[in-house]
Amino acid sequence: MQRLAGKVSIITGGTAGIGRATAVRFAEEAAIVVITGRNRAEAEKTLELVQRAGGSGCFLEQDVTAEAGWIDVMHAVVNRYGRLDVLVNNAGAFFVKPLADTSLEDFKGLWRINVEAVFLGTKHAMPLMARNESGGSIVTVASLAGLVGLDQCSAYCSSKAAAIEFSRAAAAEGAALAHPVRVNAVAPGPVWTDMIARQYGDTAEMRNYFSEDQPLKILGLPADVANGVLYLASDESRYVTGVALTIDGGRGAD
């Protein structure tokens, strides 16, 4: 299908999990996929999947928390492809820790990736997209944890809430541009990713726990999030901006 035909897209954290699934889904819809991240070996695997899906793209090494890195990435993308249409702020970090054991450094570390990187990416992508007649679309992979409180996740929940509110406010600015740039978030609930499988163990019990932890009782997969990101990235949602789309098996409606 051609739902993103010719759209030049950056996906941060495209080396694993939701980022990888999004890269592949975008490639299936004929996007040009630029994945960024720190792990070149994993990035090569994603690129191989992108090519197998009939797409094209490249990998750029990037630390999303450094502003200079963002400027480099934007230059590289414009030099190579001439434009930027879609940014997926996907790179993120996560830990579970009681509040009393969470150091300020722990807290700041999470905020650097989950909030500051989203700020930097959106800030530098928006003016580039505004050059396009067709504007652009920025999608931030936030979390249901930004809409509801989770036990021992105060740093994570607060960072994702900040990312969602940041998107909403940036949406207002993007909408006012001559060539509007839409800014939306997705808010996934429990999703079974490689990272989770490694952290908790890939057992039937764990998978079952993940699928039972929300009303729909199906195991959430990276592809489910990728499909939501695809909708928000594509022109099918061209009147949608400032939303946080929950992809959570109904967990947030509970």
Partner 1 sequence: MSSKVAVVTAAASGIGAAAAGALAAAGAHVVLADADPAGAAVAHALVKSGFSAEFVLHDVGNEASWIALLAGIETGSRRLDVLVNGPGSYETAPLHDATIESLRAMTRVNVEAVFLGTRHAVAHMVRQAGSHDAPRGSIVNVSSTPESAAGAAAFCATQGAVRILSKSAAVECGARRHHIRVNCVRAGWGIAPGEVAGAVLYLASDESRLVTGTELAVNGGRPGV
What residues make contact with partner 1 under the rule CB under 8 A?
A: 168, 171-172, 174-175, 182, 189, 214-218, 220-221, 224-225, 227-228, 230-231, 234, 236-243, 245-250, 252-254
Q: State the nearest-atom distance from the C-beta of 72 to partner 1, in Å.
A: 30
Q: State the nearest-atom distance from the C-beta of 165 to partner 1, in Å.
A: 12
Q: State the nearest-atom distance from the C-beta of 228 to partner 1, in Å.
A: 7
- Closest to partner 1 by CB, 57 vs 249, is 249
Single out the catalytic residue among 156, 200, 231, 239. Answer: 156
Per the annotation, the verdict on 231 as an active-site residue is no
- Closest to partner 1 by CB, 178 vs 253, is 253
Instruction: Give CA–CA dist 228/214, Å, rounded.
Output: 18
- Closest to partner 1 by CB, 118 vs 191, is 191
Show which residues are catalytic. 156
